[in-house]
Amino acid sequence: MQDGVLSRDAGLQPAAAPRRPGVRTWLWGPAFVAAIAYVDPGNVAANLTAGARYGYLLVWVLVGANVMALLVQYLSAKTGLVTGSSLPELLGRRLRRGPRLAYWAQAELVAAATDLAEVLGGAIALNILFGLPLVWGGLIVGVVSMLVLAIQTRRGQRPFEFVVMGLLLIITVGFMAGLFVSDVSWPAAASGLVPRFAGTESVLLAAGMLGATVMPHAIYVHSALARDRHGHQPHELPRLLRATRWDVLASMIVAGAVNIAMLLLAAASLQGVGGTDSIEGAHAAISGTLGSVIGTLFAVGLLASGLASTSVGCFAGATIMAGLLHVRVPMLARRALTLIPALVILATGVNPTWALVMSQVVLSLGIPFALAPLVRLSSDRALMGDFTNPRGLQVVAWVVVGLVVALNVALIGLTLTGGG
């Protein structure tokens, strides 16, 4: 089955006609859509919790995770451009039926955890801004995300990118505004660049921060986004890969700055303040400390984060299903189905901030299953030809995989022994 047909059957709309990349396509492209995964509500919960509880201690986690993300997202986009296939499609062709179904099951669990975090975050934002009950807020987030996905289905990828990048701009302003009026201790922030922990709970939180930053669904979807935007153009690959490097670099700088700003804001304004164990409490503390304008901007940023990330997350889930199962599920139907678990959790009264942080731990456990195959495939000369990863890059990439696996092993051990 051809890749374009497969994408269309799954409710994805490939780009109509790839264009020769210029300066504009270098800076405004697929990487900015994938970068939404790095500033979603799960990031908000994990980063605010880290700053409020441990101050500047875990700054190094965000910096390291963002450097990892820079490498990972470039490898994903490069794989899609060189092979003309998404990462899930490549895996779907190589795995036998049993392993393929098992792999899809864990990827679908990751997608469900992603969607849970994003809908919860949007619902919390609507509750903060308008006092809406969480269930109604989650439903509204789901409906609006359907409208955003309808743009991609009917108009194509480029208009979808513009909408998502507009939301990214709102997110950036909303989450960084407070940084300019808070009393950040820059020497303490610099000391936070030294890797260290402060007890077992900080390890659990670091794993959640990693899961919120290097997100598995972004690894899967970026290969499809880059392929669908530029198409499979072997003769243009050097130019396309240069453009992709700039695209990824710019998007990761934006995402990294927003994440670090959230942690610094919490460390400067929320540490030692009571009632910050939830996003709602953190918002109240931010409003009380920095003013209602900053608090409102924060809530608007959170809402934009939920709307954008749940749309991109659903797109990623459809990409995963199409590549691994070859199942034709319309995008909007998938959106309606994946909304149900989040609404159930909201209706049962589970602490939404706790659910957000735990969803990030699930995501962290799913990273190696996306990352290891990506490194393996992008280093396969038979598949990548002259664009295979150089030896040095392969070593660095496998070191990243090893670090992620080691952190997750520690996370599982702490969880089983009750250390977290």
Question: Under 8 Å CB-to-CB from 162, ≥6 apart: which residues?
Answer: none
On the question of pLDDT at 357 being above 80, the answer is: no
- pLDDT band of residue 418 (cuts 50, 70, 90) is low
Percent of the chain at pLDDT > 70 equals: 90
Q: What is the pLDDT of residue 364?
A: 76
Reported pTM: 0.87
Q: Domains of the chain by range and CATH?
A: 3-416 (1.20.1740.10)
User: Out of 155-164, 204-213, 290-299, 355-364, which region has the weakest mean confidence (pLDDT)?
Assistant: 355-364
On the question of pLDDT at 415 being above 80, the answer is: no
Q: What is the pLDDT of residue 74?
A: 96
- pLDDT band of residue 420 (cuts 50, 70, 90) is very low
Which tens digits make up the pLDDT trace of 253-269? 999 999 999 999 999 98
**Mean pLDDT score of the chain:** 86
Q: What is the pLDDT of residue 27?
A: 42
Q: What is the pLDDT of residue 24?
A: 45
Closest Cα to residue 45, out of 144, 136, 113, 135?
Answer: 113
| Token digits of residue 160 | 């979808």
Local structure of 291: helix, strand or coil: coil
Which tens digits make up the pLDDT trace of 383-410? 999 999 999 999 999 999 998 888 777 7
Q: Buried b / exposed e across 259-277, counting CB within 10 Å, b at 16+? A: bbbbbbbbbbbbeebeebe
Which tens digits make up the pLDDT trace of 94-128? 999 999 999 999 998 888 888 888 898 899 999 99
On the question of pLDDT at 22 being above 50, the answer is: no
User: Out of 1-5, 75-79, 294-298, which region has the weakest mean confidence (pLDDT)?
Assistant: 1-5
